[in-house]
Amino acid sequence: MSLPTQVSIVDVGPRDGLQNEKQLVSVDDKARLVHLLHEAGLKEIEVTSFVSPKWVPQMGDNAAVMAAIERRADVRYSVLTPNMKGFEAALATAPQEIVVFAAASEAFSQKNINCSIAESIERFAPVVQAAHAAGMRVRAALSCCLGCPYQGEVTPDEVERVVKLLKDVGVDHMSIADTIGVGTPRRTQAVMERALRHFPLHEVSGHFHDTYGQSLANIYASLELGIHRFDASVSGLGGCPYAKGATGNVATEDVVFMLDGLGIETGIELDKLVDAGVFISGVLGRSPVSRVARALLAKRG
């Protein structure tokens, strides 16, 4: 079976990772993390979210972080925008891509963005239009595609229904998220196949959390389908404030190590990525969660 020869990775650590930390991280440290990710060769970075600071105080410095980044022309910076208010604030900071985020489960939609799935789609329609008018790409992130912390099982039919609604409002890209990390490889493929009915291969990606240790297996299963875009989070930072017990995203270091071993090109330099992880883990007062980072650091001595 032939796997893709190249994979692109969006590092979502600055957003998905840091949104979930108890302690507030300074604007300077967030900007430094983004710069270290540039150094490591990341070409797509999810920087922050324009959500309510009452809901997610960790992202309350969104505009300041966007202003503090020394941008590179070959890097795409993305931000989350749940509604027009968030979009307008984001627009002023000139990201290249915005992310609208919905859920495949009704219960999670209510907890995360305080509205039903249908209402969320209605809110996204003008956001997608305005983003396209401003020349920005729109990625959609769909939570709970493999299980929901409130509802439990989520079927591929439920996922496909929302994928189609997002397609109908015109999003460019579909990111299938396993918010609580319960997915296993064949289930993951079944769900990915539903997304691929509505979006081309290069516009479908996987966003896996490693809560049950399945994320690399799920990435491999996605590669088998030809999927070649994944979200990952440096040092395995992350979780979701509205998904209790959800641990970090799959660590970018772990994904790059596996892809290097498979001979798949990412453009990312593992050693420099480990440095980025060491930096942000130091800010947070812990060691990197990534197994690969730990192993390489032990070798460094």
* 16 lies in the site for Mg ion, by CB under 5 A: yes
* Active site residue ranges: 240
CB 159 within 8 A of CB 147: no
Amino acid residing at 224: E
Q: What span, in angstroms and rounded, lies between the C-alpha atoms of 273 and 268?
A: 7
Q: Find the shortest distance in angstroms from Cβ 105 to ligand HMG.
A: 10
Q: Which is nearer to Mg ion, 68 or 108 (CB)?
A: 108
What does 85 bind: ligand HMG, Mg ion, none (CB cut-off 5 to 8 Å by kind)? Answer: ligand HMG
Beta-strand runs (E) in the chain: 8-11, 44-49, 76-80, 97-103, 137-143, 173-178, 204-208, 229-232
Amino acid residing at 38: H
> Which residues in 185-213 are b (16+ Cβ under 10 Å) and which e?
bebbbebbebbbebbeeebbbbbbbbbbe
Q: Which is nearer to Mg ion, 16 or 253 (CB)?
A: 16
Q: Find the shortest distance in angstroms from Cβ 207 to Mg ion.
A: 6
Instruction: Indicate the residue whose CB is closest to ligand HMG.
Output: 86
Q: Which is nearer to ligand HMG, 94 or 282 (CB)?
A: 94
Q: Which is nearer to Mg ion, 243 or 293 (CB)?
A: 243
What does 114 bind: Mg ion, ligand HMG, none (CB cut-off 5 to 8 Å by kind)? Answer: ligand HMG
Q: Which is nearer to ligand HMG, 33 or 296 (CB)?
A: 33
- Give bridge partners of residue 231 from the DSSP assignment: 10, 207
Beta strands 204-208 and 97-103 are unpaired
- Work out the widest C-alpha separation in the chain, in whole angstroms: 54
* 97 lies in the site for ligand HMG, by CB under 6 A: no
Q: How far are the Cα atoms of 121, 227, 296 from residue 115, in angstroms, in the given order?
A: 10, 31, 44
* 56 lies in the site for ligand HMG, by CB under 6 A: yes
**Pair of tokens at residue 6:** 């190249």
- Out of 8, 58, 78, 83, point to the residue binding ligand HMG (CB under 6 A): 83
| Interaction pattern, residues 229-268, with ligand HMG; x per rule: CB under 6 A | -----------xxx--------------------------
* 166 lies in the site for ligand HMG, by CB under 6 A: no
Q: What span, in angstroms and rounded, lies between the C-alpha atoms of 249 and 179?
A: 9
Instruction: Note the residues at the interface with ligand HMG (CB under 6 A).
Output: 16, 19, 49-52, 55-56, 80, 82-83, 85-86, 101, 112-114, 141, 143, 177, 179, 207, 209, 240-242
Instruction: Note the residues at the interface with Mg ion (CB under 5 A).
Output: 16
